[in-house]
Structure 1
């Protein structure tokens, strides 16, 4: 795409906004932005990284938007009363949502590869990006998380790649319905479960997405995805499943604390694979990535060899460190499936779990209340501890119909060891005070980059 007008990102530090801004900057566009966290003096390393790449940063007071020539990029969550939006309306600047702009870039690519599903999108996107990069195909990658493989001293926030190859690999979001804007050549569907929308809405969104593609890579080990795969035209789907019949299958899983081995079975060939990321869910993610690579013409043996070098994403089962015999893990888990996958992975090995889950909004708590309670009731071991602070709040108008206190009351009624501590710092201090050698502390939550800083501070506190 040609970028003749300058872009201004409202909330440029967000996990979905920053990589999109970096792709535009890498393609030669003029990029500027603002962010509430910048105004608060938070995350200075992130904003310094943006400045070093020529991105002009402004206070979120409207001063950065001065011309009708600017294209203002903002999510639907940014209210019209925010000073930047007031300025945009005053000067007549065009407005685009993040999804509208990303889908334009994606749809214009020769080989757009879209990764969808309730869970695992970022990991699968990173895996496909790594396979393509390792095999010299120089992809462009849009991810919502930092990909460790591409981190270097001068690129500490590698959540995007700008390549010269034909592939544009991106996760696509169903939570706001914007998945409907994307036209993939290759569509990946990992799973379908409750998060932001009803199952009926999700079935339509994911089904339409898969039908648009020339090839759809679908997890038939997931019941909802399998039902969707059955509706696709013959020859469109490449199916995958863990320990179940499919076009691409994983067998003989061998879990390790921070990795997992398995046999990849595809086209009658059996290959031994060892991932550097743990858990059965990551085996499914790897099958999805290998399937996408195959749909793009990559030999499965080459894809399998490449994926062994994938080192993971930040905030996805991210080992922060160990102090006094207590391990600290930073994780993005925020819906029932993601949290359950992490708890299952950890429970495969001995040690009590001390879990702090910060909900990512009051709306998701209302939607997922029953499923969250059932999941924690079934997945927490007898000696585990769950602590919920209040949900992250970034400002604006929000209905607080279901709170962390409500969720904890429901979970505690099942007999699980669960407490509500409203303030996040106090919740973290309570967990550190409870920790004993052999325990694993897990920090969970989304839409809040400062959780990683909290996890690091908790590790430091364990030594004091």
Structure 2
């Protein structure tokens, strides 16, 4: 479909841009791009992987945009003053946003499976993709994270698949309102909680999204999602929940440090015990969501469940980096209150202090989520746990700094939480390494910054010294 077309991605290394570029290149398009991280020399392996797929890379100085035939795709973080965007205007190139392009590819597909929700989208998308792959359905998958089941030496950054089957499986984003662009045949809704938009806006966006689908797979264990499901035609809804009656139910959860098992019930009848290779109650919900999408796509449980059990997770989603001198290091994408709570809850199922390094993913999100973040840390962290916040992610551009990491620490003081603001990230990491004792778990948390994974590996190396 895209053979011969020319695309230029401004910010091609972003978690939402890179897989989209890989899908287009895999479909025969001519793809090029630029990125601030490339210019700064950050995470070179990622850009080497793009070049191996035939994608040309340029400095972010306008030199990669040459004529009006190119479609220039920009990430949300790119401002009009960036030289590439200035050059696009000069040559008259067509401009598209990432969600505009992705939704067009999605809506042009035959079987469109859209995965929505405040949390768990990437994991559910990866689970569904793995089920479809194991079932021989050869899907196209658009994910915001590397799916470890598909990653190997030839595809180390496997956040996308390009298949020949009729299914296009994609997570869809509500934070910028672009979820309104997608027309799914199967809509998956995992949960609804305050993140980037007001609850009123989110209820409308998610409700309209599932209402456009032929079938909706909804987590009725989540109150907000359950309310949306109640307003839909029962014939189109397949429900799932943990420890509550639903079409798909998980009971008798048995957590392990890096796994979890549960009893699966379908339509009220016990089917089998399932053991996931990823931990936490939230991943049980994710697995039920993926199983629901499989059932709605005529993939029966005997084929779907073994795939779920062999699903190894996503990079930076509770990823165990290693252990040194009795201290485990975990790399985690937790950046909003719900994700952070899920990770802390999972870790507190077992003994050991938590030493958290939380890097906020921007000054804007920090301002929006300030109250909820403070509440989650105050509620979930226990005596002995430690929280360190470096300054938020900043990768250029104009941004107001009304709320900082120091404000979060000050807000936590009345709760008696051991929290401190150490502006420099390397110094924050060094403080946690120096504080760690056998039995502790160090967790690196944050989004929009691939170098956090490199930081987690360096912390593990430092623990070994």
TM-score, shorter chain, exceeding 0.5: yes
Aligned mates of 2:127, 2:422 — CA distance in 1? 37
Aligned-pair distance for 1:413? 1.9
Aligned mates of 2:304, 2:192 — CA distance in 1? 25
Aligned mates of 1:309, 1:183 — CA distance in 2? 30
Aligned-pair distance for 1:303? 1.2
Q: TM-score with structure 2 length normalisation?
A: 0.99
2:437 corresponds to 1:451:
no
Instruction: State the secondary structure of the residue aligned to 2:391.
Output: coil
Which residue pairs with 1:74 in the alignment?
74
Aligned-pair distance for 1:2? 3.5
Aligned mates of 1:33, 1:360 — CA distance in 2? 23
Which residue pairs with 2:221 in the alignment?
221
Instruction: State the secondary structure of the residue aligned to 2:225.
Output: helix
Residue by residue over 1:38-60, the C-alpha shift from the partner in whole angstroms, topping out at 9 and shown as x without a partner, is 10111111111111110000000
2:242 corresponds to 1:242:
yes
Aligned-pair distance for 1:399? 1.0
2:273 corresponds to 1:272:
yes
Aligned-pair distance for 1:423? 0.9
Structure 2 contact 4–28 (Cα < 8 Å) conserved: no
Aligned mates of 2:413, 2:242 — CA distance in 1? 33
Task: Flag structure 2 segments of 5+ consecutive residues without an equivalent.
Answer: none
Which residue pairs with 1:378 in the alignment?
379
Aligned-pair distance for 1:121? 0.2
Which residue pairs with 2:293 in the alignment?
292
Structure 1 contact 271–301 (Cα < 8 Å) conserved: no
Residue by residue over 1:427-461, the C-alpha shift from the partner in whole angstroms, topping out at 9 and shown as x without a partner, is 11111110011100000000000000000000001
Which residue pairs with 2:464 in the alignment?
463
Aligned mates of 2:440, 2:351 — CA distance in 1? 9
Instruction: Pick which of 435-444 and 298-307 moved more.
Output: 298-307
Which residue pairs with 1:52 in the alignment?
52
Aligned mates of 1:376, 1:77 — CA distance in 2? 28
Residue by residue over 1:225-273, the C-alpha shift from the partner in whole angstroms, topping out at 9 and shown as x without a partner, is 0001001112111100001111100011010010000011013242110
Aligned pairs, number: 464
Task: Flag structure 1 segments of 5+ consecutive residues without an equivalent.
Answer: none
Instruction: State the secondary structure of the residue aligned to 2:64.
Output: coil
Aligned-pair distance for 1:414? 1.0
Which residue pairs with 1:189 in the alignment?
189
2:138 corresponds to 1:138:
yes
2:336 corresponds to 1:335:
yes
Alignment of 1:121-200 (within 5 A): 121-200=121-200
Instruction: State the secondary structure of the residue aligned to 2:249.
Output: strand
Aligned-pair distance for 1:401? 0.9
2:102 corresponds to 1:102:
yes
Aligned mates of 1:203, 1:360 — CA distance in 2? 24
Instruction: State the secondary structure of the residue aligned to 1:413.
Output: helix
Instruction: State the secondary structure of the residue aligned to 1:430.
Output: helix
Residue by residue over 1:134-158, the C-alpha shift from the partner in whole angstroms, topping out at 9 and shown as x without a partner, is 1111100000000000011111000
Alignment of 1:20-59 (within 5 A): 20-59=20-59
Aligned-pair distance for 1:76? 2.9
Q: TM-score with structure 1 length normalisation?
A: 0.99
Which residue pairs with 1:211 in the alignment?
211
Instruction: State the secondary structure of the residue aligned to 2:100.
Output: helix
Aligned-pair distance for 1:4? 4.1
Which residue pairs with 1:416 in the alignment?
417
Residue by residue over 1:158-185, the C-alpha shift from the partner in whole angstroms, topping out at 9 and shown as x without a partner, is 0000001111000000000000000000
Aligned-pair distance for 1:66? 1.0
Structure 1 contact 106–182 (Cα < 8 Å) conserved: yes
Which residue pairs with 1:311 in the alignment?
312
Aligned mates of 1:75, 1:450 — CA distance in 2? 19
Aligned-pair distance for 1:78? 1.0
Which residue pairs with 2:120 in the alignment?
120
Residue by residue over 1:62-86, the C-alpha shift from the partner in whole angstroms, topping out at 9 and shown as x without a partner, is 0000100000000232111000000
Structure 2 contact 2–24 (Cα < 8 Å) conserved: no
Aligned mates of 2:107, 2:258 — CA distance in 1? 36
- Please give the root-mean-square deviation of Cα atoms over the aligned residues, in Å: 0.8
Aligned-pair distance for 1:394? 1.0
Aligned mates of 2:2, 2:379 — CA distance in 1? 52
Structure 2 contact 249–264 (Cα < 8 Å) conserved: yes
Structure 1 contact 112–167 (Cα < 8 Å) conserved: yes
Instruction: State the secondary structure of the residue aligned to 2:217.
Output: strand
Aligned mates of 2:445, 2:204 — CA distance in 1? 29
Residue by residue over 1:328-356, the C-alpha shift from the partner in whole angstroms, topping out at 9 and shown as x without a partner, is 00000000000000000000001000000
Structure 1 contact 100–181 (Cα < 8 Å) conserved: yes
Aligned mates of 1:115, 1:78 — CA distance in 2? 25
Aligned mates of 1:463, 1:182 — CA distance in 2? 48
Aligned-pair distance for 1:3? 4.3
Residue by residue over 1:355-375, the C-alpha shift from the partner in whole angstroms, topping out at 9 and shown as x without a partner, is 000000111111111111111
